[in-house]
Structure 1
């Protein structure tokens, strides 16, 4: 499970980079043309998010299946381990994609702010446990605004004897609720910028 934790972290950063790249491919005029052809800015954003997520799902399948096919583990892998690892990969990649979508070049005016915002948020979310240890307990509720990367990541670091339980499922539920809030914020910002 520790090996899958490493590939999860790598995919988390990679998914954000892929999303930023996909959102930056068009110049402003081409972006307007795409919006007109698609029938609204929401459709364009949803399509780009889904396209990036499909790419990361394929990468997740590769990351989970490759070490099994080539017998890279010293112990037999159970179905639960494979399922949890795959779910972790696709969940954290979606989180990375949505973070990048919120800081895309079409929403943030300066490119430096766009890449800087994504980088800062990704690093803060990965450093959650360290930040929590340094902050006084009275300030811990502030950390709930950070993306819950470490919640799922900690699950993968519980070891190979992990079994399904409510405590294992809860971090995934929290990440998807957080993603839903991010989508709502994204649409709110888009609606403020223009009607869709």
Structure 2
């Protein structure tokens, strides 16, 4: 009887030790990577200053993230409609696109949300297009500086939607009927990052 009791205690001890080893191994395997890394595509739709009023801009880009820093390159297209008589009686329509790099820093993060500060320097091209002939009549290049605060939902690992508010300043634009002040001011945007993130 005593031998049986000793055998029961021995097997119980061995089982407990095995369970502790398994828990320890699982704990080691579930530890997060020592660094945060992400590769993603990004898209957004924004309401930006534009002549004669706010207009819609869409963007698409590629980016990488290391720890709290993000670097992306994106292309932005004007989706609004502005027509006027640049030279009477022909009607002209405004069209423009700009692109460039953006740097962002994650200033705050929790399990659910993160807050980022971003800055971008972009170059663009703006034209007056003749509606009758479809030809580009007047054209000029411009610089665009942007700064923004973004709040991102971090609940999903591979998709991170965000909202943003910021200020933009256009420089070096010299085109008939419009100027730098028409495209400078506050903007709001909604977007998403989709890609691989190791955490």
Same fold (TM over 0.5): no
| TM-score of Structure 1 vs Structure 2, range by shorter chain | under 0.3
**Larger strand proportion of the pair:** 2
- Give TM-score, length-normalised by structure 2: 0.22
Higher helix residue share: 1
TM normalised by structure 1 equals 0.22
Higher relative contact order (CA 8 A, sep 6+): 1
